[in-house]
Amino acid sequence: MSAVGVVSIVLGLLIAISRTFLVLFPAATLRWTVERLIPTESRTRIYGICVVPLPAAMIWAGASEDSGLAGILLIFGLFMFAVIPWLVIFPRSFMEFCGIFLPSHTDSKLIGWRAIGTLGIGIGAALIYYGWLAL
C-alpha cells in the first residue's frame, strides 16, 4: 500500500465529512465552531495540539514518494505545520482572525457557507479518488 494513497484517503474523508455538516446544518456548525471550538484560548491551543498528527502524516507521506499527489500533500502539510504554532502560541490572534469570517448571527440561509461546504466536499472526494488511484 502506498503511504500517499492512505494519507490522501484519510484526509479526503476528514474534509468531506466535516464539510457535509456545513452543507446540511450550516447554522448549527457555525454556532458550534464559535461557541465550542474557539471560544477560549485553552480550547484553541488544545485544538492546535490535536491537529499536529495530520500535517505530520502529510509531510511524511509526501516526502516518501515522488508524485504530484505526494507534492500536494507535502506542500499543504508544511503550510499546516507552519500555522499550528500560531494556534498554540498566539491563540487570541487566531480567535480574532476567525471572528472576522464567522458570522455573529446565523438566522439567514447561509448560502455562501453551503457553497464553501460543497466545494470542500468536492475537494475531499478528489483526494479520496486520487488516493485510491495511488494505492
**Is the pLDDT at 95 greater than 90, yes or no?**
no
99 residue type, one letter: G
Tell me how crowded residue 65 is: count the other CB atoms within 10 A of its CB: 16
Contact yes or no for 8/130 (Cβ under 8 A): yes
Question: How many whole angstroms separate alpha carbon 46 and alpha carbon 9?
Answer: 25
Average pLDDT over residues 39-62: 92
Distance CA 11, CA 127 (A): 7
Q: Please state the rounded mean pLDDT for residues 111-116.
A: 93
Domain borders along the chain are 3-134
Residue 105 has pLDDT above 80, yes or no: no
Nearest 5°: the CA angle 23, 85, 2 is: 65
pTM: 0.89
Rounded to an integer, the average pLDDT of 97-102 is 86
b/e 17-30 (16+ beta carbons within 10 angstroms → b): eebbebbeebeebb
Work out the angle at residue 47's Cα, subtended by the Cα atoms of residues 41 and 52, and round it to the nearest 5 degrees.
130
Left if phi > 0, otherwise alpha if psi is -120 to 50, otherwise beta: which for 40?
beta
